[in-house]
Amino acid sequence: MFAKLTHKYPVDTYQEKEEYVSYGETVDGKFKGIKYLNTVIKNLETIFKVIPVEYRKDFSVSLMKVSSQVPPHTDSMSKTVINFYIKTDNCTTQFYNKKVEAPRQHQIPNQTNGFMFDLEDLIPTDSFIAEEGDAYVLDVTTPHAVWSANEPDRVALSLSTFHDFEKVIFLLKETGNI
């Protein structure tokens, strides 16, 4: 489901570039949801050192900004992500198992192969609360959510890939990061 990387990885100065996908809605003129933006990171080469050189081409980089509670879902277009947390806002990332064989699910605009799930059809399992500088690898094919006591303001550099979670764990062990 997830694993914490062994070291802190502070993300140096970054620049937000154009948004390329968002999941959510605008309420009273303010976006609520998750946005993924292109970005320029000063220490990107240091961040990429967690992945063996020959696999770096298989990971895409984006800046993830979370501005609302994120109900249980699976991600679109990625199987695994490595998130380097810049701003955490004391949010909980909660993973779930399916309580029923065929949980109720639907898609929101911009979702492709990911789904939103009905909370009643899921059982909470493991969770974590990231701190600034932490990095976690997540299996985003498993239902997960982001919860916060307040309206969250969470920012992370995200490396996403089509490789499955077990393969990425193997790669992170190879570089000494798990």
Is 2-174 assigned to CATH 3.40.50.10860?
no
Q: What percent of the chain has pLDDT over 90?
A: 80
Per-residue pLDDT of the chain (178 residues; tens, 9 = 90+): 999 999 999 887 899 999 999 988 888 888 899 999 999 998 888 899 999 999 999 999 999 999 999 999 999 999 999 999 999 999 999 999 999 989 999 998 888 999 999 999 999 999 999 999 999 999 999 999 999 988 888 999 999 999 999 999 999 999 999 9
Q: Report domain extents, the chain.
A: 2-174
Torsion on CA atoms 131, 135, 139, 142, rounded to nearest 10: 10
- The DSSP bridge pattern shows strands 105-106 and 135-139 to be unpaired
Residues 6+ apart with CB under 8 A from 101: none
Whether 97 and 123 have beta carbons less than 8 Å apart is answered as yes
45: left (phi over 0), alpha (psi -120 to 50) or beta: alpha
Q: Give the whole-angstrom CA distance, residue 66 versus residue 77.
A: 18
pTM here is: 0.94
